[in-house]
Amino acid sequence: MNTKPTSGPQPTIEFRAVTYGLFRSSSQTIVSNISLSIQPGETLVLLGRSGSGKTTLLRLINRMVAPSRGQILIEGRSTSDWDPIRLRRHIGYVIQEAGLFPHFTVAQNVGLVPGLENWEASRTKARVAEMLKLVGLDPSEYSARKPRELSGGQRQRVGVARALAADPPILLMDEPFGALDPVTRAELQREFSALARRLDKTIVFVTHDLREALALASRIILLQSGQIVADATPQEFLKIDHPEIQAFTASLATTGGAAV
Amino acid sequence: MSSRWEFLSSHQSEIFSATLDHLTLVVIAMVVAILIAVPLGMLIVQRPTLRRIALGLASVFQTIPSLALFGFLIPVPFIGGIGRRTAIVALVLYAILPILRNTYVGLTGIDPAILESAEAMGMTASQILWRVRLPLALGVILAGIRTATVITIGVATIAAAIGAGGLGTFIFRGVAMVNDAVILAGAIPAAFLALVADFLLALLERRLRIA
């Protein structure tokens, strides 16, 4: 590989001078010239306002969109060299409303990717039960339910279980707890934080909520207008002197209470 | 008044066999229309040019007055002529639009979050079509089939004009004879068929629709 000699292991995800825009003109650029290395086991939070490019950055990783310029390497291989189907089955994905299939039961939803990968039925079944327990749902009670018979928080748990079912090394999460009530949200954040430490996955988590970023991240990237304006651990993050960080800190004050 | 019921009761077996003929005409036309329109609807989801052509053509057929469409088909080789076959072709052309349009709308009107997560989990386009889009569109497709069936039962009465038989035979005969009783012998069973079909298909639709 033509990688520059770096210290430490190969990054799981690496952005190399990535630009993405709808058109070539600079006014339509959504993310511009992003370079970023994400190491194995990191829980990286992409923080930013709506339209800052954080979701686009996430979608570039599993090639839901392709970069206009630059490249993204997953485990050392450019996403353009991966078969997109293989790449996506290698990466778990959780979105805000969970995106569960309403015509599938909970078990069918969780067993989807193992099924696509032609796992044996018994192995899939065992895995589904294991995943449901992992996210705090009793398999005997929830397996046969349809998503509409679940609460918002339970649906989101199933979404996480589904993303983890085929044991992908990478997990992408796009404001997964964004639509939940504050109490359920805090509950899921706490549990997810503990889960993330235990699982040893590389996680990229998108949010516009500083409190959530501080609670979950091992590293926070702040995006503004498609560019990285800060890159720090949660401990260092609040000490950085940058107007956008101050704007986010001010938002904490108005929503009340101290962070962490 | 009593003479009307007399006609109906004295021609019971004739009315019954015309109803069966009518039903056969409708069932054959609907099966063919479904076999054309549903796959075509699946095909046009990803093909905008074909979509415009197919939906445009289907709309054109629907705008042709039904009696004229039957007439136009008579001189057409292979599918034309006098009789049942021509009638079925015309009924199919009529039934395609509601089924095609509902298939397309059903397949494309799915919550984008569901499609997004299907794609992000590494489902192929055909897996998404068969396992996600189609099952979720089933209720809407069936609604189109229901509309088309009710229309076809009505339009099929006109098929008698080109010698295809069915309940229209009574209606045309009654109009010619200026005899209400004979018209009703065709109209009542046709209306009854339409109501029953509508009710049964609505029942099925409710079962298939996923809230």
Q: Are B152 and B29 in contact (CB under 8 A)?
A: yes
Nearest to B116 among A90, A99, A163 (CB): A99
How much is the pLDDT for A222?
95
Most B-contacting residue of A87, A90, A104, A112 (CB-CB within 10 A), to test interface: A112
Q: Mean pLDDT in chain B?
A: 91
Question: Which ranges of chain A have pLDDT less than 70?
Answer: 1-8, 23-28, 254-260
**Residue B54 and residue B64 in contact, taking contact as beta carbons nearer than 8 Å:** no
Cα separation, A168 vs A90, in Å, equals 5
Give me the torsion for CA of B22, B23, B26, B29, rounded to 10°: -100
Q: Give pLDDT, residue B120.
A: 95
Cβ-defined contact of B116 to A98 (cutoff 8 Å)? no
Is a pLDDT exceeding 90 seen at residue B12?
Answer: no
The pLDDT value recorded for residue A97 is: 79
**pLDDT above 70: percentage of residues in chain B:** 98
Residue B154 has pLDDT above 70, yes or no: yes
Which chain B residues touch A165 with a CB distance below 8 Å? none
Residue B117 to residue A93, Cβ atoms within 8 A: yes
pLDDT score for B190: 95
Position A258 scores a pLDDT of: 44
Under a CB-based contact definition with an 8 Å cutoff, are residues A78 and B83 in contact? no
Residue B52 identity: R
Total beta-carbon pairs less than 8 A apart between chain A and chain B: 61
Partners of A64 on chain B (C-beta within 8 Å) are 116, 119-120
Query: Taking a C-beta distance cutoff of 8 angstroms, is the pair A90, A169 a contact?
Result: yes
Q: For residue B140, is pLDDT > 50?
A: yes
Closest CA to A237 of A255, A254, A216, A256: A216
Question: What pLDDT is recorded for position A1?
Answer: 45
Q: What is the mean pLDDT of residues B167-184?
A: 92
Give the closest-approach CA distance of A15 to chain B in angstroms: 19
pLDDT at position B9 over 90: no
Answer yes or no: is pLDDT of B170 > 60: yes
Look at residue B209 in the predicted model and tell me its pLDDT. Answer: 74
Distance CA B21, CA B9 (A): 19
Q: What is the pLDDT of residue A27?
A: 62
Position A257 scores a pLDDT of 46
pLDDT digits (tens, 9 = 90+) for B42-93: 999 889 999 999 999 999 988 888 888 888 888 888 777 888 888 999 999 9
B148 band by pLDDT with thresholds 50, 70 and 90:
very high
Q: Interface pTM (ipTM) of the complex?
A: 0.85
Q: pLDDT tens digit string along A87-105? A: 999 999 999 877 899 999 9
Half-sphere exposure (Cβ direction) of A253: Cα atoms closer than 13 Å: 7
Judged by a CB distance cut-off of 8 A, whether residue A89 touches chain B is yes
